[in-house]
Amino acid sequence: MSSTTTKIEPLGAVRERVLASLRQEIIAGSLRPGDRLVERELAERFGVSRVPVREAIRALVAEGFVHFETPRRTVVRRLTPHDVQELFELREALEVYAAGLAAARATPEDLAQVQELLDLAAAATEAGDAEVITDVNSRLHDRIVAMARNSLLTEALEPVAGRLRWMTRRNEEWPQLLVEHRELYEAIASGDPDRARAHALAHVRTNYRSTVRHLFGETETRD
C-alpha cells in the first residue's frame, strides 16, 4: 500500500509568484495602463486563493505599478511625464554617483561580468529580442551599482528598479543603447571616476529624452 503526499506551497511563496508574474506582465506590456486587476479573475487564472492575489496587488501599488481608482477598482497606472521626470532625476543623482564609485572600486572580475552582459546585449540587439535586451540592460545597470560597493546606494534604488524597467522598456533605440553602454563600460574600466560620471550622466539624460519621446511623443520636459 502506497501513499502520496502533496507539497503545499507556503502563502508567501504563492504571493511572490503571483507578484512576479503580474509585475512582468505590466513591464512587458501584456497588462496595459488602464487595465483592471480583478482579484477573482486573477485567482482563477493562477489557480490560487484570493488572499495571495490581494497581497500581490497591494505590493504592486507600493511599487507604483497599479493604483486604486476606487476602493473596489484597481488598474495599471498610466505614467505621466512627471512620473518619468522624478524617476530619472533619481537615476541622475544615484546612478551617476555609482558609476564614479564603480570606476574607483571595480575588480577585473567585475569588469569581466559587465563585458559578458555587453556581449549578451549585442547578440540580443542583433536578434531584435526586446525581452532579452530589457533584462540584460537592467542587469547591466544593477551590476554597475553593485560595483560601487555601497549597500545603502543599492537599497535606495531597489524600490524603483521595476518602474525604471517598465519605463525604459518602451525605449526601442537598442543599437544606440548598446553604444552608450559600451562607452560607459570603457569609462568605468579606465578607472577614472570623473570620466565614468560624465558618461553616466550623458547616458541617463539621453535615455530620459528617448523614454519621454516613446511614451508621450514629446521632447524633453524637464525644467
| Separation CA 56–CA 204 (nearest Å) | 31
Q: How confident is the model at residue 215 (pLDDT cuts 50, 70, 90)?
A: confident
For the cut 90, the answer to whether the pLDDT of residue 1 exceeds it is no
* Mean residue pLDDT across the chain: 91
How confident is the model at residue 3, as a pLDDT? 47
Q: How far is CA 92 from CA 81, 95, 186, 197, in A?
A: 16, 6, 19, 10
Q: pLDDT tens, 91-126?
A: 999 999 999 999 999 999 999 999 999 999 999 999
Mean pLDDT of 139-160: 94
Q: What percent of the chain has pLDDT over 90?
A: 77
Set of cell numbers at residue 179: 553604444
> Which of these, 93, 87, 136, 85, lies nearest to 115 by C-alpha position?
136
Residue that has been written with the C-alpha cell 477573482 in this structure: 40
Q: What is the pTM of this model?
A: 0.84
